[in-house]
Amino acid sequence: MNILCVCGNGIGTSVLLKVNVEQVASDMNMDVTVTTSDAGSAKGTANMNDLVLTSPQLAAELEGVDVPVETIENFMDPDEVKKILEKYAD
């Protein structure tokens, strides 16, 4: 599964979320490839992924993409990440 983590600039909180997603996915034995993007570029690359994770504040910028967009309030909360990944686990 390809997952895109999106934040405002693509280098700060999205990288923290990426690390958290990779750890949670590993604990769940999910095979994931996680990339990061800034909000401005994400709409153009979102459809090359299976899932997009972002903050509620940025989700509106991703309206119209053909893949699920899930919002996360606390990028560092593994339980919140796990609840979302469980929806997409095989």
Annotated domain spans of the chain: 2-88
Q: Is the pLDDT of residue 90 over 80?
A: no
**For the chain, how many helices (H) and strands (E)?**
4, 4
Q: Residues 11-61: pLDDT tens digits?
A: 789 999 999 999 999 999 999 999 999 998 999 999 999 999 999 999 999
pLDDT classification of 70: cutoffs 50, 70, 90: very high
Which segments within the chain are labelled E, that is strand? Answer: 2-7, 33-38, 51-54, 69-71
pTM: 0.94
In one letter, which amino acid is 73?
E
CATH number of this structure's domain 2-88: 3.40.50.2300
pLDDT reported for residue 12: 83
